[in-house]
Amino acid sequence: MRSEVRLVVWTVGIIAAVVVATTWGAELRSVAPELRTRLQHSRYLYFRNVRSADYQIRELDGMTVYIPEERSDSGWFQIAVLWRDEQAYIIWETPDSLTHRSAVRPDGLGVWDPDTAGLPTHWWIAFRHTSATKDPHYALRDYFEMVNALPEYFEY
């Protein structure tokens, strides 16, 4: 075998060995999703004209709150749309009897006070809850559809 061919064979073999050695047993890691609150206009239009029939609607100054008709005794997720800023937020709400009390988080990861938690905390809890169940509540599906953030939309 000529020396040039031998050099090419050895080079290719060493590169293949290095690639196999560095990837052996490596797990693919998913990219962490980012907080998304920007409304997608066409999706919000569909939600407002079709899906909002399943909600009680509360109009406030610069904001519309969509409260699902199907609510649990322990609490529910509701959608707050700040239409001036083209933003939407998902918020865990509890009945008046539980206000300012610690409660079990909807994603099952401990205890929290939803009244003092920030909006990103509500978002991440809702996202984890949606990712963990095969059939999330319709308010969660509608919200994450409006902001284009259903778990399957994230590139992993």
Tens-place pLDDT, residues 33-86? 788 899 988 999 999 999 999 999 999 988 999 999 988 887 899 999 998 899
105 domain-assigned: yes
Instruction: Give the CA-trace dihedral at 142, 145, 147, 153, to 10 degrees.
Output: 150
- How many structural domains does the chain have? 1
116 domain-assigned: yes
Strand-strand pairing, 103-104 and 63-68: unpaired
Domain that holds residue 103: 41-153
131 domain-assigned: yes
Strand-strand pairing, 103-104 and 76-82: unpaired
- 75-106 confidence digits (pLDDT tens): 899 999 998 899 999 998 887 655 667 777 77
Q: What integer pLDDT is reported at residue 40 of this predicted model?
A: 87
Between CA 149 and CA 135 the distance in angstroms is 16
Q: Identify the three-state secondary structure at position 114.
A: coil
16 domain-assigned: no
84 domain-assigned: yes
pTM: 0.72
With a pLDDT cut of 70, the percent of the chain lying above it is 85
46 domain-assigned: yes
